[in-house]
Structure 1
């Protein structure tokens, strides 16, 4: 009983410090902008918003429901949806990475609140994932044809992982992989996420689940780490390239923020076996579609 109360208070303190940190960071950031100029940009942004933002909100909601419940596929889902509306791959990727800062932050905090986070796993994923994301974002900003080079390989890998996950339905779970392998996995996941416009969840979550880790704690821990990975990647993209499309970003953020706590709650209500089936099926479908598009078949 005492340990439970202690854990609750630790979570509350962590959440309070996180909120205060965001408030301080926002104050420092906006202090660099003149008040009149900032208000002017805010008015211009509001006037530029039209009904199409509802489409982007729907995209953000659906993508975050998938990502928050399964621990993967926000970037892949949102990017595919935006490209289907006619947006260019570069614009879609930039918009998704920017929105992921907010959606993954709310999702990660929600998972932490519901007790879905393995803090040891989170610590092992954090630094390598951030380093990989920064490296990938910096490299990709200098390579125009990166999608044609890397996406087929990422899609083939995640397709293989999806098949592996489905093959484990009804089978005895394997023992966990040694913890020393997580750093390399997180670094590769962060790097490929920046390179391919998505992939942190499919690569990291799929690998961990396929090798015997709990889907609930894997999804929660990977989602919390994704906030820091997305933040590092987005800052690198902004610093090197810059980006626009604020209406798309705003729509994705609003839809994702609404979905995040719902998805975090749902993940603990889904039985393990159906979760494996659903995760594996979603990965196979998305990966196969991405692979065929990358190869020019679709």
Structure 2
């Protein structure tokens, strides 16, 4: 037996309990790190005012959508944070940090409701982490993540339309095997880190489009997202740090409360309804990103002319 086969055999024997323990241990390590930097005076002091509870509400709403549909946490929370005056840089760093906690609770909840395909989870995690780490490094030190967003959104707009069409027709055939899951996870992790979001829309949409059960797809992709976000956040913390604990803690608290509700909804919603809602969410978030990009280019062109 080759070394690769031995690794695959050991990975296939990992239990749901061991996956849950791994999530808890990694979250504990991050909590210890946060306690350390706050105790040494590196974290910003804030008050529990009305603004803080606004961030809690944003975190709850965004995670409820993400837990039930397997996507759109970054898109919905980022749009709301920018609306309430948070700068793009702080919004992006805060969302990635908060996602470690929200996706951890969401993953544990999906494990509880048995919304997981373990074999698919293992196929997604390793290449997804590699892609996310590479993307986080590129964004932190080399690239501008905003440049790739319009192209991703145009692709997702087509994919979302296909999913919506399948949901309306209700003639999709469920398949057990997902093709090119590793490559899909690598691309999803890479573009998620570079573009500030996209793991759910890219990976969930493609897997559902291949015919996989929406319930298992959402649960598996959400659980895999914890590991992708954890390692990407480590890179971001090293290069960028955290500028606003008020935003981060608000998103975490709201998201933690919403995560079990979202996982419960994913285990109960009708498959046809899930296809239609997932398709509509992908289409709307893609159109929003394209619209914002067009607006930014228009302002840029006008400023050059004037």
TM-score by length of 1: 0.87
Consecutive unaligned residues in structure 1, runs of 5 or more? 1-9
Q: Deviations over 1:200-249 (max 9, x none)?
A: 00000001011111000000000000001111111101111222111000
Output aligned runs, 1:1-298, within 5 Å: 11-12=16-17, 15=20, 18-19=23-24, 22-23=27-28, 25=29, 29=33, 33=36, 38=39, 45=45, 47-143=46-142, 145-147=144-146, 149-169=147-167, 170-174=169-173, 176=175, 179=178, 181-296=180-295
Q: Distance in 2 between matches of 1:150 and 1:119?
A: 31
Q: State how many pairs are aligned.
A: 282
Consecutive unaligned residues in structure 2, runs of 5 or more? 1-14, 299-306
Q: Distance in 2 between matches of 1:29 and 1:86?
A: 28
Q: Which moved more, 1:175-184 or 1:284-293?
A: 175-184
| CA 1:52–1:126: 2 relative to 1, 3 Å | same
Q: Distance in 2 between matches of 1:245 and 1:190?
A: 25
Q: Which stretches of structure 1, 4 residues or longer, exceed 6 Å deviation after superposition?
A: 39-42
Q: Distance in 2 between matches of 1:83 and 1:155?
A: 19
| CA 1:87–1:20: 2 relative to 1, 3 Å | closer
Q: Which moved more, 1:250-259 or 1:158-167?
A: 158-167
Q: Contact conserved, 1:69 with 1:263, CA < 8 A, in 2?
A: yes
Q: Could you tell me how far 1:165 is from its partner in structure 2?
A: 0.2
CA RMSD of aligned residues (A): 2.5
Q: Distance in 2 between matches of 1:91 and 1:82?
A: 9
Q: Distance in 2 between matches of 1:181 and 1:11?
A: 23
